[in-house]
Chains A and B, each alone.
Chain A
């Protein structure tokens, strides 16, 4: 039982890391630009597709990811210039509609370019083994690499946000955007940077997960919803909140699905328990979100102080 718990906890952390990579950029976009971007999930999908394509092209996963990253960055900036830049001053309804339209466009474009069938990316040879944990328990090396890469990115982001001039502007922008603009900062450049960075992080998440999941159209949609839950729990605009909430959501999601039915089985008869467990498990994170919001309407780490 403990072994199962350990494995599932690691899986939960791995999911959490993934969610953090997508959520980090999105929470800044929400927080700084006050822009609701439904299309962030498709950037994750685009990252996965680009990594799959470049990996197949070069025959090397690392090279594939390395090429996919700057391409996703450029793609994000192009989207910003073409579409998002015109949405900052609009109301939320317009933003919802335009980004909803973008999702439709990008999901269908991916279907047209790569086909509707899922692509698979082989795990690179060097990372395909597993490493021992305790006793005879082993865990796939590649999942560890995802966790490590995510943690490194998180540390990098922390340094960027907390210890650089750009990071200072980002934090200031999340608290009071007009004031930052009034103090002579070129807010448009800052927005473009945040957007490109967010796109690249989401793309990185998609690229890293490509060997584990199947790469398919619409793969970004489910991640998008989980990311929203993460951002709402963590507090809009807070990277630190996104990290804590992402790990929390990842753990609750994975552990809930595994141990929910097991726990219920000790309370009721097995068939009813497994049905109830399967029904309740997917709802757990939403219940968590509702509970957090009930006590803290602006999330765990609100960036905007009073509001």
Chain B
């Protein structure tokens, strides 16, 4: 990197912040939107029973599960500027934290969740510590490579299905009860986890930790100059995001009752990034509309043709190329500020 370009970029970014800094009320707007959104989601099963459409709950459960993963990615991507291209690995590890203990008779969701969080946290700690020694292009490539490492590890683990994946006999138990077999109950559990994750991450963002993280996003050198060590903050954020994505993996395994390495393929990581962008980067709450929009778009395009990925690719390229300032600019322009 050369100093001139760095300075210019920093100045440009500084100007951008000054422009998009919004008044207190506008920031309050995000909280109001979150409350309205979550209240609406809480009422959804009622609507589904009125419409007599049980499939609605199942579809929305999937959306909420992905929203948890997208939320965690937005936390490091939107606030920490860490373009992690291996985030699906945590989703997959979380899913295997259900499947592998279940294969040995451990079916309690609390134990499985604890395993998922510990495994994902440790994986994030180790890979993050190495990845965060680098930045920019390097960071993207290394997170991608570590994601693939996890993918190949699971593919070669033939005792647990290997490439073919592993089918769960049933959903996890909650203290011995099989309440998660009920789709509506499962929906509320996922929704509760999403709300908790949102509230937790939001609190972190607004605390001193979040300010340091955002400061590092804008200019790591300056943060260092005023006495912070960006590395430890970024690594902590990376571990938190990994653990939350692992939680999403626990739910994903329970919903599909099937786990395979395909959950952690690098295409899935790319899709998670697309979901973050669709919902608005650095908004947290955007995770829900982002996941919803992507999964609906996927269904909708698949309805027209088996080559739906072609359509998705074209949309991606066109949006990036022909909206000023890329997708972030597009989001900021049409969907409200992307950077709080």
Contact = CB atoms under 8 A, between A and B. Distances in A.
B320 interface: yes
A93 interface: yes
B240 to A, nearest CB: 20
Contacts of B266: 221, 225
B156 A279 contact: yes
B138 A90 contact: no
A307 B137 contact: no
B99 to A, nearest CB: 16
A232 B138 contact: yes
B278 to A, nearest CB: 10
Given A93-B83, A94-B326, A282-B156, A105 B313 contact: yes
A96 interface: yes
Interface stretch (A106-114, A118-126, A158-166, A240-248): A106-114
A236 B2 contact: no
A212 interface: no
B221 interface: no
Central interface residue in B138, B146, B307, by most chain A CB within 10 Å: B138
A278 B5 contact: no
Interface residues of B, number: 51
B133 A105 contact: no
Contacts of A98: 316-317, 320-321
B145 A104 contact: no
Interface string B254-271: 000000000000110010
B312 interface: yes
A241 B21 CA distance: 44
Given A101-B320, A278-B158, A289 B145 contact: yes
B152 interface: yes
A113 to B, nearest CB: 11
B149 interface: yes
Given A92-B83, A279-B153, A282-B156, A298 B134 contact: yes
B5 A286 contact: no
Contacts of B312: 101, 104
B316 A96 contact: no
A251 interface: no
A99 to B, nearest CB: 9
A194 to B, nearest CB: 15
Given A98-B316, A232-B142, A278-B158, A286 B2 contact: no
Interface string A22-45: 000000001000101010000000
Closest 4 CB pairs of A and B: A101-B316, A104-B313, A105-B313, A94-B326
Interface of B: 1-2, 4-5, 77, 83, 85, 127, 130, 133-134, 136-138, 140-142, 144-146, 148-149, 152-153, 155-159, 266-267, 270, 273-274, 277, 281, 307, 309-310, 312-317, 319-321, 326-328
11 contacts: A34-B136, A36-B141, A93-B83, A93-B281, A101-B316, A178-B4, A279-B153, A282-B153, A282-B156, A289-B142, A289-B145
